[in-house]
Copies of this chain bind each other. A is one copy, B any other.
Amino acid sequence: MSLIVQKYGGSSVADAESIKRVARRVVETKRAGHQVVVVVSAMGDTTDELLDLAAAIADAPPSREMDILLSSGERMSMALLAMAIHEHGETAQSFTGSQAGMITDTSHGKARIIDVSPDRVQESLDTDHIGIVAGFQGVSSESKDITTMGRGGSDTTAVALAAALNADACEIYTDVDGVFTADPRVVKSAHKIDQISSEDMLEMAAAGSKVLHLRSVEYARRFGVKLHVRSSFSQHEGTWVLPGPDDTIALQEGEPLEQPIISGVAHDDSEAKLTISGVPDVPGKAADIFNLIAQAGTNIDMIVQNVSDDTKTTNISFTLPGADIEKSVQILTDNKEQIGFEELDYVPQVGKVSLVGGGMRHHPGVSARFFTALRDAGINIGLISTSEIRVSVITDIEDLGRAVQAIHTAFGLDADQEATVYAGTGR
């Protein structure tokens, strides 16, 4: 019998009616012949409301207590869902993260999973129950305290359980139909991707796609879990995110399908760009700069270094989260003399557009087509960054939408064009 893990987020369980809707879906899945484990988030905005309550009480709440507070949200929704399933004559048992064997480190608020031992969940399935697990939480192996996993925690719980239970699929229910070739709010002609390799999905998530959290895609990739991202409001197939060797995706064993060269176009409007010019061209200067940035707690994305005109100094540019621009500018300015740079400029918001596709490894025309499309659309390119399966550029923020559309069309991804670009067509 196949086993499916289903994850429902906050908006899917926002109130009594929604919970009943989810229960119907879960029961249908079981009656279609599957074993089912359901991972739930807290109802609606509960987590944010609990954060507000904590903020009204304390400026710097101890993280252990914060996790105890936040984890109560999932406990409520899991118990209510179990009751709703029971009304259909099916039996469900709910488990906290701890009871489900989600063992984490002690990093309260952003705990990492170190082991999953879902014995009680397995027992529940073996005795013909539906298992329900509170997402977003685990227990610290050291301190035995409850921990929460940070953003994307419920998705990660679902994938980790699917891996540990050897599930046939992990369904992530959300309020869109799946992963699209570009954000449909930016590109009207974007269409839903039927299958995407987890490698490509990783790049899409890292490059700005918000449908799936990077962390859960990483986990699925590493442990070979098949993800199915779909809408909780319809019965349509969504997007399958499939782990597999390069260039092939197998929905079932032994059935390789042609992999499209290109999966889609991701964009990100949350970054700022900082340029430090006239940096003395001596060893260690870049290290000094990035150590300072790290001290400020800032994560850097793209980095570009070039010699400057006089060739005795270099210019270093990099992108970073827009929210971190002030403290980063501050720490560099405070240390200007020690580093010895001439000038520091920044743009508080830039656009980043990325083309993603595992197939570009073996198809050299991709970069050329990419830059041609941007030139033809009259879009200025700032920094460029590539990986084996991704090409990204920084644009002015005003140009971002047009850039995404131009790339989308140039690679035949528009819904009214011929399907996706396939290997071997030489396009």
Contact = CB atoms under 8 A, between A and B. Distances in A.
Interface of A: 16, 19-20, 50, 53-54, 56-59, 61-62, 64-66, 68-69, 71-73, 75-76, 78-80, 82-84, 86-87, 92-94, 99, 144
Given A61-B86, A82-B65, A16 B75 contact: no
Contact of A56 (B16, B56, B61, B64): B16
A54 to B, nearest CB: 6
Given A62-B82, A72-B76, 8 more contacts: A16-B57, A65-B79, A66-B79, A68-B75, A68-B79, A69-B76, A69-B83, A71-B75
Copies in the complex: 2
A84 B144 CA distance: 23
Closest 9 CB pairs of A and B: A69-B79, A16-B56, A58-B83, A61-B83, A72-B72, A68-B79, A65-B82, A72-B75, A65-B79
Given A16-B57, A53-B16, A94-B68, A62 B83 contact: yes
A88 to B, nearest CB: 10
Secondary structure type dominating chain A contacts? helix
Contacts of A79: 54, 65-66, 68-69, 72
A76 B47 CA distance: 12
A57 B87 contact: yes
Contacts of A16: 53, 56-57
Nearest to A58: B83
13 contacts: A16-B56, A19-B57, A58-B83, A59-B87, A62-B82, A62-B86, A64-B93, A65-B83, A66-B79, A66-B83, A69-B75, A72-B73, A75-B75
Nearest to A75: B72
Contact of A80 (B57, B93, B99): B57
